[in-house]
Structure 1
Amino acid sequence: MGRTAPKLIYHPIYSELELPDRHRYPIGKYRALYLALQQLGVPPDAFNLSETADLSLVGQVHQASYLDALCSGQLDAKAMRRIGFPWSEQLIRRSLLSVGGTVQSTALALQHGIALHLSGGYHHAFADYGSGFCLLNDLAVAAQYALNQGVHKVLIFDCDVHQGDGTAAIFADNPAVVTCSLHGEKNFPYYKQRSDWDLALDSQVSDKEYLTAAEQSLDYLLRLYQPELVIYDAGIDIHQDDDLGLLAVTTTGIAKRDALVLSRCRQAGIPVAAVIGGGYQRDLNRLTQIHLQLFYAAFALCDAPLPAHPDWQWLASVTS
Structure 2
Amino acid sequence: MKVGINTKLPIWYHPIYTDGIHPEARFPRERYVSLINRLINSSVSGKFVFNEPAKATRDQLIIGHDQRYVDDFLAGKLTEKETKRIGLTPWTEDIIPRTLHLMGGAIAALDHVIEYSGIAGNMAGGTHHAHYDFGSGYCIFNDLAVCALMALEQYNLQRVVILDFDVHQGDGTATILQNVERALTISLHCQTNFPFRKAVSDHDIVLPAGADDRDYLEKVAHCINIAKQFNPDLILYQAGVDGLSTDSLGKLDVSRGGMDKRNKMVFDMIVDHTIPTVVFMGGGYSKPISHTIDAFCDLFTAAADANIRFTSVLDE
Report the TM-score, using the length of structure 2 for normalisation: 0.91
Any residues of structure 2 matched to 1:1-320 within 5 Å, and which?
Answer: 3-19=6-22, 21=24, 23-40=25-42, 41-42=44-45, 46-85=49-88, 86-110=90-114, 111-147=116-152, 148-223=154-229, 225-303=230-308
Cα-Cα RMSD: 1.7
- SS across alignment from 1:226: coil
Counterpart CA distance in 2 for 1:238 and 1:104 is 27
Residue identity matched to 2:68: S
Q: Which runs of 5+ in 2 are unaligned?
A: 310-316
Distance 1:301 1:43, change over 3 A: closer
Q: Is the 8 A contact 1:186 1:203 kept in 2?
A: yes
- After superposition, what is the alpha-carbon deviation per residue over 1:177-221, rounded to whole angstroms, capped at 9, x for unaligned? 111100000000010000001011101111111111111121122
Query: Is the Cα–Cα contact under 8 Å of residues 32 and 284 in structure 1 kept in the other structure?
Result: no
The 1-side partners of 2:232 and 2:171 are apart by 21
Contact 2:246 2:287 (C-alpha < 8 Å) held by counterparts: no
**Contact 2:109 2:122 (8 Å CA) reproduced:** yes
- Contact 2:110/2:278 (CA < 8 Å) preserved in 1? yes
**1:49-94 CA distance string (max 9 Å, x none):** 1111121021111101111111112111111110012334310110
Distance 1:116 1:134 in 2: 18
- Per the alignment, do residues 48 and 245 of structure 1 end up closer, same or farther by CA in structure 2, a change over 3 Å counting? same
Aligned 8 A contact 2:9 2:47 in 1: no
**SS of equivalent to 1:97:** helix
Equivalent residue letter for 1:24: R
> CA 1:258/1:44 → structure 2, altered by over 3 Å: closer, same or farther?
closer
Specify the code of the residue in structure 1 equivalent to 2:83. Answer: M
| Per-residue CA distance 1:148-180 (angstroms, 9 max, x = gap) | 111111100000000000000001111121111
User: Is the CA contact (8 Å cut-off) linking 1:162 and 1:188 kept in structure 2?
Assistant: yes
Partner SS state of residue 89, structure 1: coil
Any conservation in 2 of the 1:184–1:247 contact (CA below 8 Å)?
yes
Structure 1 gaps of 5+ residues are 305-320
How far apart, CA to CA, are the structure 2 residues paired with 1:269 and 1:180? 19
The verdict on how the C-alpha distance between 1:135 and 1:299 changes in structure 2, with shifts beyond 3 A counting, is same
Offset of 1:281 from its aligned partner? Answer: 1.9
1:264-303 deviations in Å (ceiling 9; x for gaps): 0110111110011100124333321111111121222234
Structure 2 counterpart SS, 1:274: strand
CA–CA distance in structure 2, aligned partners of residues 169 and 47 of structure 1:
32
1:82-137 Cα shifts (integer Å, max 9, x gaps): 00123343101101111111111112122231002111111100010000000010
- Counterpart of 1:55, as a letter, is R
Distance 1:16 1:43 in 2: 26
Determine the C-alpha separation between the residues in 2 that align with 1:162 and 1:96: 23
Q: Is the 8 A contact 1:262 1:272 kept in 2?
A: no
Is the Cα–Cα contact under 8 Å of residues 118 and 307 in structure 2 kept in the other structure?
no
SS at match of 2:247: coil
Distance 1:83 1:209, change over 3 A: same
Contact preservation (8 Å) 1:241, 1:281:
yes
Cα contact 2:53–2:104 (8 A) shared by 1? yes
Q: Give the Cα–Cα distance (whole angstroms) in 2 for the partners of residues 29 and 254 of structure 1.
A: 17
1:133 maps to amino acid = Y
Amino acid corresponding to residue 104 of structure 1 in structure 2: A
Question: For this pair of structures, how many residues does the alignment match?
Answer: 301
State the 1:44 CA deviation: 11
CA contact (8 A) 1:26 1:282 kept: no
Q: Look up the equivalent residue of 1:278 and give its one-letter code.
A: G
Could you say what secondary structure the match of 2:45 adopts? coil
* Change over 3 Å in CA distance of 1:301–1:60 after alignment to 2: closer
